[in-house]
Structure 1
């Protein structure tokens, strides 16, 4: 083995440039793959770990206390398929009369539990203690900051003594918004019972429905009012991160393919250009297996170094990317980190992939005998390449160009691998260009360039502001009457309880002119009648809804059935949209909290803002600045970074090919120079040899990139793109992309081409 190692080290020293190329390629690919695996792992593993640690409930079920009893519910725990159960607990929905803690006015689900432990849903205390006596309450915290400073806060409810916050806790099952002692629950007049179930089989929605049907069999009709599946919570946990997984995975796969192609190309070139060296090794007594080991060790060393550096770089970039991917998500006790196996897999898999890619061309050295290798290394080369070059010499092309165009036919296998790397590079550039076009179009949706927007906040005492002197309807009329106003939209924000969930959701109720969101409907239509709502893809996915589904909203003891009539392109992940008619059914006294005024073209925005301030001191106007969309910036930034990495990798593949070609053809280059070829002609010939491959690679890569773009935008979880935003390709843009392959090829060929041009005849003859 010492002889093999010494021969491998000598091979690395002779091919320093190829060694660096392999290291850089593996570094870039490892970084890309690690980031893709990190997001994929973080989308599920942290939730699963925290959920298992708390013994989370597969289903949080609510039963109507007027239609069943706690005795009947206790019998359900012994039904087939029930692994564990807890309850029944008393459950009430109270109305918070005004802003409290971090919550706005609206419903709050409260459950009576004697302690946070138990067989299921072991609630984690974050601060304070558990509520053990009347007058105490523990609040579910979204986990963020230090909630202990808010201990002792009072909650005043009509008809009952004030409740004092004695603790903050969190539940991965999201079984309640707050908890009180069972004695306190009696004073809140519970209207339902809560049961927590864990089933033996609960990995799919179908198994959840089967288990729920089993435990509710024999219960009075319509006694089950709500049932929240943990799968819905898991989807909500990863809703934002899921939108990044498709394109990061695609970039990771592209990186792997490019790496395999380039490593195979390097080893193949090393074997072909080292025939004489292989013959000498075998003549000295190296066995065929030892010769193969020399070439595998030659690529393994830089691959390991590149893999380690890529893993370190990916680990440094991991947390910032995960922070963006999980921003705005209530993570509970889950810690957003990736499992240790992710970097370990990269450290083991990438060198293995490099060795596997190098093995096939290295086996060629295994088959050669010593005499055959030595003669092949010194004999002049003939064949298809020369025949093609002779035919091209009969054309009117410059001689340097015709010679360059014929070179790929001398090494068709190497040319195909080089062109494949260019194809993947162009595919990546095309994919990113299309993705950027779709995201930019999405960011501009609902925005009116050149038209000023003024947001008018309504003052409230809770925010330390004056209350308007004008009532709700007069405010809208006043805003419309001011000079420059074109369209006025009133918005009320209310927190409601949604059927089949234990937590509350926000609803935007609109009045007046249609808001900007109405122009972003991709399915169905904007809510125009009572009982109609719309939501973004993230909100609908988190709550298991789609266009056409019906659900029930509860507020202040009222309820109304609503139908999802539209899907908004982006929407708010925490809120749905509706209209004033629906608000009237739930809260007839609803008032707007904000007005959006779109001014007429060329209107004086500052004058309008001053007019609003003079109209009523309780109105607080501000001129909206249309800043870049965060999702657009993030996705375009990520994809651009990955594209840069993969484009560099593809260019390095071309660089390696040209370097091998120039080293193999040193004698030919010296002969061409001796008969009068200038350095510029040498550069032109060398660049032309890969420019043709780049052009063909561009023509192949463009449709592949377009197909990848369509696949990504059709499966983006956080955005629902309309067809108009998917069709982003135009003739001038495609024409420029056609040149991307040529640009990658020229970029990779330029340095070795200039090196070949500086090669002197004397230097070549001396080496010969």
Structure 2
């Protein structure tokens, strides 16, 4: 091994603290960068690939068969449309799985005789296409192992069944299922379709403006209100990508924090190593080391732990990305997504390059030192530096060990500044993590709005000898008004919420219709914009519903409810993330016909005993075929993952910050070991030595903590709304104003805790060192 290699290895082994600090700082930066970069890139890849392969529909529209004919839709031409498919007959049915189902569900079915088409080329995931009476193909993403399942259509005469013969994937999400064109007529009471679906490919589909222009163009020349619903591919894409996109803003924030911290710490560590090892540099030059060899020695002492940190950070980034990428892969049936190789290359090259440049700038000073100057200077700081401050602090009414410590930072201002910066980053990470957790808790509270004190459902069937329910899944009576009346006759009822699965005209997927009886405004639902419904025909909806349907406050929306069309006007945007935001809230009086609800949730007045209420209500419900059930709170996998990632990345940043303080204090303590020996010789006790060292970082910790809290709050204010936007959510103000005054004060003390924790090991070393050993040191 060369002389440079021997000195490099000895330096890495001897300076264990700085080696660990550099490795961890690099690991932190690489982990967050790989994770954030990977999610940013792959979040849109599965959808874009599937959409291109299937020649997906940029715009799907449903037309009223009473106002237009198939010939009118076929002959209608529009500027900007490059390809069309259809018209396909559509029908909305309510089905109940014959075995193992979870209640009745509405399905938006489209009649197509083949999966092949010029627009929306469907890809069979398994099974075969439905080309015979009584067969249906379902969207693969909505069901688990559905092949062979029997779906009962209890609302049709004779309760016919549909057999699931295949599953398919439509990137355009144009339907919940597909049957043959002839089958559609048999599924409607009138003998004709509920609507006609047209699919369009556009020349310029990249903005909402062009989609809106195309929507206007395709309906031009047709009777007014002929188009009863439409869906933009941009809305479908947004929903498809939001599961991974929500992680990107906060991961990028942590990545930037880690990257900047690693660069600053590396520069500080190398500069401190050069400053404290001046005499050693002189020795190396005296034995023949050239300036270039000295630079390579110190550069290598940084790059070795940085390379190890980069390798471990790559592995950690890949492991943390697995559950998020797997979820995205399953949605499209694609092979398991992996972090692209070029992300690894870019991150590794970028982080190591920044570390190398930073280390080179600091080690360049070591190479330029003259041999005789390096041997003469040693490691003692310049005499007289900080003496004026030392004399001023000596006048404070504090013990001498404390005043000595308070004056110490002014002897090494650059080193003190680097320590403060390390504390700032640690305090920033903690403040941001606390704020993020509080904001996510508000999101979780919103998710719990749809849980209740008591729920009412149909009486379950008896269990047969084989352990399975003896009969189809139960459902409440089509007219649940008697049940609602019994509920509100019971003392302690605040309001009830009847939920039904419906579809939006012209769109696939299930929407949860929530009809309130009583004043639901007291239930804590928080409005983002607009107002709660009050007049007949009004409703409110979450951000997810508005985004997916392309509606805004003031627009009307038509729902397929139990075979009837119900039109509601949206007057407000409510904060709610249940059912992926695909919900709509209105007063039960707006539903003029009975709605087959699946469950009724009851909110009780404060102080009402839940068990006693349920027991008292049960006798009134039993004759109506209903029973009470205990409610359970719901959580969120996304929130759990986010909290876990936040905790891991915050712990890494705080650890790096603490080690940065430890490295700085350790260098400073060893540098003035002879002064410590003199203090011990004139009577300073080990406890006073510890007090002196800890006092030297106290002010730095307070300054860094205060600055870090401010930076963390600014970071929270920027990142959390960006996360909401990525998830298709707009957050209410209460989810952003999460820092109370006591919390801010405690977080400010967090910087002091980081500084004291980092300084404690060097303080203990200084307290243990023998006086004679300290006095012999240079």
Q: TM-score range by the shorter chain?
A: 0.7 to 0.9
Compared with structure 1, are the counterparts of its residues 380 and 339 closer, same or farther at alpha carbon in structure 2 (3 Å cutoff)?
closer
Q: Is the 8 A contact 1:239 1:538 kept in 2?
A: no
Compared with structure 1, are the counterparts of its residues 495 and 222 closer, same or farther at alpha carbon in structure 2 (3 Å cutoff)?
closer
Task: State the partner residue of 2:57.
Answer: 57
Compared with structure 1, are the counterparts of its residues 650 and 542 closer, same or farther at alpha carbon in structure 2 (3 Å cutoff)?
farther
1:614 pairs with 603, 616, 619, which one?
619
Matched, 1:46 2:51: no
Query: How far apart are residue 431 of structure 1 and its match?
Result: 2.1
Task: State the partner residue of 2:19.
Answer: 19
Task: State the partner residue of 1:235.
Answer: 238
2:538 pairs with 527, 532, 538, which one?
532
Task: State the partner residue of 2:415.
Answer: 414
Deviates more, 1:520-529 or 1:742-751: 520-529
Task: State the partner residue of 2:718.
Answer: 711
Deviates more, 1:710-719 or 1:627-636: 627-636
1:473 pairs with 473, 481, 484, which one?
481
Query: How far apart are residue 736 of structure 1 and its match?
Result: 1.9
Compared with structure 1, are the counterparts of its residues 698 and 380 closer, same or farther at alpha carbon in structure 2 (3 Å cutoff)?
closer
2:301 pairs with 298, 301, 318, which one?
298
Matched, 1:760 2:770: yes
Which whole-Å CA distance do the structure 1 matches of 2:762 and 2:560 have between them?
Answer: 72
Alignment of 1:350-749 (within 5 A): 350-377=351-378, 381-441=382-442, 443-444=444-445, 453-459=453-459, 472-482=480-490, 484-499=491-506, 501-514=507-520, 519-555=525-561, 558-572=564-578, 573=580, 574-584=582-592, 588-590=593-595, 592-600=597-605, 602-617=607-622, 618-626=625-633, 634-717=641-724, 720-749=730-759
Deviates more, 1:626-635 or 1:269-278: 626-635
Which whole-Å CA distance do the structure 2 matches of 1:612 and 1:509 have between them?
Answer: 20
Query: How far apart are residue 632 of structure 1 and its match?
Result: 5.7
Task: State the partner residue of 2:466.
Answer: none
Task: State the partner residue of 2:93.
Answer: 95
Query: How far apart are residue 128 of structure 1 and its match?
Result: 1.3
Q: Is the 8 A contact 1:59 1:230 kept in 2?
A: yes
Which whole-Å CA distance do the structure 1 matches of 2:243 and 2:539 have between them?
Answer: 22
Query: How far apart are residue 514 of structure 1 and its match?
Result: 1.9
Cα deviation per residue 1:284-341 (whole Å; 9 max; x = unaligned)? 4444333322222111111111222222233223234557x87xx9924356734323
Task: State the partner residue of 1:248.
Answer: 251
Compared with structure 1, are the counterparts of its residues 208 and 414 closer, same or farther at alpha carbon in structure 2 (3 Å cutoff)?
farther
Query: How far apart are residue 12 of structure 1 and its match?
Result: 0.9
SS at match of 1:616: helix
SS at match of 2:554: coil
Deviates more, 1:638-647 or 1:112-121: 112-121
Query: How far apart are residue 163 of structure 1 and its match?
Result: 4.8
Which whole-Å CA distance do the structure 2 matches of 1:379 and 1:243 have between them?
Answer: 52
Deviates more, 1:717-726 or 1:251-260: 717-726
Query: How far apart are residue 15 of structure 1 and its match?
Result: 0.9
Query: How far apart are residue 8 of structure 1 and its match?
Result: 1.8
Which whole-Å CA distance do the structure 2 matches of 1:301 and 1:7 have between them?
Answer: 13
Which whole-Å CA distance do the structure 2 matches of 1:713 and 1:389 have between them?
Answer: 45
Q: Is the 8 A contact 1:125 1:168 kept in 2?
A: yes
Task: State the partner residue of 2:279.
Answer: 276
Deviates more, 1:403-412 or 1:64-73: 64-73
Q: Is the 8 A contact 2:141 2:169 kept in 1?
A: yes
Q: Is the 8 A contact 2:454 2:629 kept in 1?
A: yes
Query: How far apart are residue 411 of structure 1 and its match?
Result: 2.1
Task: State the partner residue of 2:208.
Answer: 205
Aligned length: 754
Which whole-Å CA distance do the structure 2 matches of 1:516 and 1:253 have between them?
Answer: 43
Which whole-Å CA distance do the structure 2 matches of 1:626 and 1:95 have between them?
Answer: 31
Compared with structure 1, are the counterparts of its residues 523 and 36 closer, same or farther at alpha carbon in structure 2 (3 Å cutoff)?
same
Which whole-Å CA distance do the structure 2 matches of 1:556 and 1:394 have between them?
Answer: 84
Cα deviation per residue 1:602-641 (whole Å; 9 max; x = unaligned)? 5443333233333332222123345667666554444333
Task: State the partner residue of 1:131.
Answer: 130
Which whole-Å CA distance do the structure 2 matches of 1:737 and 1:253 have between them?
Answer: 21
Cα deviation per residue 1:526-572 (whole Å; 9 max; x = unaligned)? 22333322222333333333433333334466434432222222242
Task: State the partner residue of 1:318.
Answer: 321
Deviates more, 1:676-685 or 1:206-215: 206-215
Query: How far apart are residue 169 of structure 1 and its match?
Result: 1.1
Which whole-Å CA distance do the structure 2 matches of 1:709 and 1:676 have between them?
Answer: 49
Which whole-Å CA distance do the structure 2 matches of 1:39 and 1:190 have between them?
Answer: 43
Task: State the partner residue of 1:35.
Answer: 35
Query: How far apart are residue 756 of structure 1 and its match?
Result: 1.9
Task: State the partner residue of 2:174.
Answer: 175
Which whole-Å CA distance do the structure 1 matches of 2:355 and 2:195 have between them?
Answer: 61
> What root-mean-square deviation, in Å, do the aligned CA atoms of Structure 1 and Structure 2 show?
3.7
Which whole-Å CA distance do the structure 2 matches of 1:243 and 1:34 have between them?
Answer: 16
Compared with structure 1, are the counterparts of its residues 201 and 337 closer, same or farther at alpha carbon in structure 2 (3 Å cutoff)?
same
Runs of 5+ consecutive residues of structure 2 not aligned to the other structure: 462-468
Deviates more, 1:727-736 or 1:16-25: 727-736
Query: How far apart are residue 427 of structure 1 and its match?
Result: 1.7
TM-score normalized by the length of structure 1? 0.87
SS at match of 2:591: helix
SS at match of 1:168: strand
Compared with structure 1, are the counterparts of its residues 433 and 80 closer, same or farther at alpha carbon in structure 2 (3 Å cutoff)?
closer
Which whole-Å CA distance do the structure 1 matches of 2:714 and 2:444 have between them?
Answer: 22
Cα deviation per residue 1:35-93 (whole Å; 9 max; x = unaligned)? 3334434432232233333332333344566546558747859x6673xx352342322
Query: How far apart are residue 174 of structure 1 and its match?
Result: 0.9
Cα deviation per residue 1:487-542 (whole Å; 9 max; x = unaligned)? 2414141312234x344423222223427656333322222333322222333333
Q: Is the 8 A contact 1:532 1:565 kept in 2?
A: yes
Query: How far apart are residue 346 of structure 1 and its match?
Result: 3.7
Alignment of 1:326-345 (within 5 A): 331-334=331-334, 337-341=337-341, 342-345=343-346
Query: How far apart are residue 378 of structure 1 and its match?
Result: 5.5
Q: Is the 8 A contact 2:228 2:505 kept in 1?
A: no
Q: Is the 8 A contact 1:95 1:105 kept in 2?
A: no
